[in-house]
Amino acid sequence: MATSLIQLLLGAVAFGTVIMFGCIGEIITEKAGNLNLGVPGIMYLGGIASLASVFIYEGSTDTPNKLLCVIIALLSAFIASALGGLIYAFLTITLKANQNVTGLTLTIFGSGVANFFGGSLNTLAGRFEQIAVPFTSAAFKAVTPLSKAGVVGRIFFSYGFMVYLAVIAAVIIHYFLNHTRRGLNLRTIGENPAAADAAGINVTKNKYLAICIGAGISGFGGVYYVMDYIKGTWANDGSIETLGWLAVALVIFTTWKSINAIWGAYLFGVLYWMYLYIPGLTRGSQEIFKMLPYVVTIIVLIVTSLRNSRDKQPPAALGLPYFREER
């Protein structure tokens, strides 16, 4: 019983880390007033960029450097995801395209790019083995000796570094948004862009920055999924897309507070994996059980709309375009 509980926790943390990155990146974007439904596409871009760059690097040298592998993976993922965000930002801010439609297009584009290269990288590179970057994956999954320290060690220290990175990022973003002037300025844009503009805050620049950095962070979700969760391989099974949408759902669940993403993400993980640990479920009823995270999100959505508490609402100008000379 205790072992399976630990198993469940470990699974939940791994699962939660993927969506936590997606979620906190999206929180930054939404705090700037943009609803980016391209999160799944961005996570795809991050995942494939890290895989492809490391695949090329690992293939180009006989003695790959672990640290370099990790840096290459993270950097290329951040750049690729931020570029995805940049496309979205350019279309929605500068060209004033509809945010939802642009976001969905980004998801289609990102999943197309990622799955195309994920499935064709070996052919394109003229190599015929299955794409795998076991060396880099091992670096991502490396743990400290603390993980051997009994139950506590297993529960708290048996993860790759990105698990901790996600938590730290969530805390930093929370601090940034609530305890710095820049964070306050950013939230102003999402709440009332006209007020931000009148206060001398550069709405366009900040929106661009928030969207691109937010996308970069969301993209790390894809990196963690590829490098740690599925051990440095690629699967064209649409999992990243599902996780991406869950990340969007998690944003609502956290009521736009990144600090809540830490426990929220793990809770989603527990809900997602719970079916494995409930005895007597058939394969069919397991599928029903897997609905839980979505159902919970729907309930949270309904409850927040009924409660109507001023401090738990989405940013007031979320999804609305801003054009100063509008009359």
Toward other proteins, which CB reaches closer, 50 or 107? 107
315: amino acid identity, one letter: P
Site string for other proteins, 99-118 (x = CB under 8 A): -xxx-xxxxxxxxxxxxx-x
Residue 287 makes contact with other proteins by CB under 8 A: yes
- Name the phi and psi angles at 174, rounded to 5: -60, -45
Residues 242-271 that bind other proteins (CB under 8 A): 242, 245-246, 248-249, 252
Residue 281 makes contact with other proteins by CB under 8 A: no
Alpha carbon distance 148, 101 (integer Å):
48
Q: How far is CA 217 from the centre of its chain?
A: 7
Residue 120 makes contact with other proteins by CB under 8 A: yes
Residues 54-83 that bind other proteins (CB under 8 A): none
Site string for other proteins, 130-169 (x = CB under 8 A): ----------------------------------------
**How is 82-98 classified by DSSP, letter by letter?**
HHHHHHHHIIIIIS---
Toward other proteins, which CB reaches closer, 165 or 194? 194
Residue 311 makes contact with other proteins by CB under 8 A: yes
Residues 176-195 that bind other proteins (CB under 8 A): 179-185, 187-188, 191-192, 194-195
**Are the C-beta atoms of 223 and 42 separated by less than 8 Å?**
no
In the block, residue with structure tokens 């729907």: 298
Alpha carbon distance 141, 163 (integer Å):
10
How many Cα atoms are found within 13 Å in the side-chain-facing hemisphere of 65? 4
Alpha carbon distance 290, 302 (integer Å):
20
Residue 310 makes contact with other proteins by CB under 8 A: yes
**How is 222-263 classified by DSSP, letter by letter?**
HHHIIIIIT-S----SSHHHHHHHHHHHHHHHTTT-HHHHHH
Q: How far is CA 45 from the centre of its chain?
A: 11
Candidates 57-65, 216-224, 259-267, 280-288; binding stretch for other proteins (CB under 8 A): 280-288
Residue 278 makes contact with other proteins by CB under 8 A: no
We find the least distance from the C-beta atom of residue 97 to other proteins, in angstroms, to be: 4
We find the least distance from the C-beta atom of residue 264 to other proteins, in angstroms, to be: 15
Toward other proteins, which CB reaches closer, 7 or 239? 239
Residue 201 makes contact with other proteins by CB under 8 A: yes
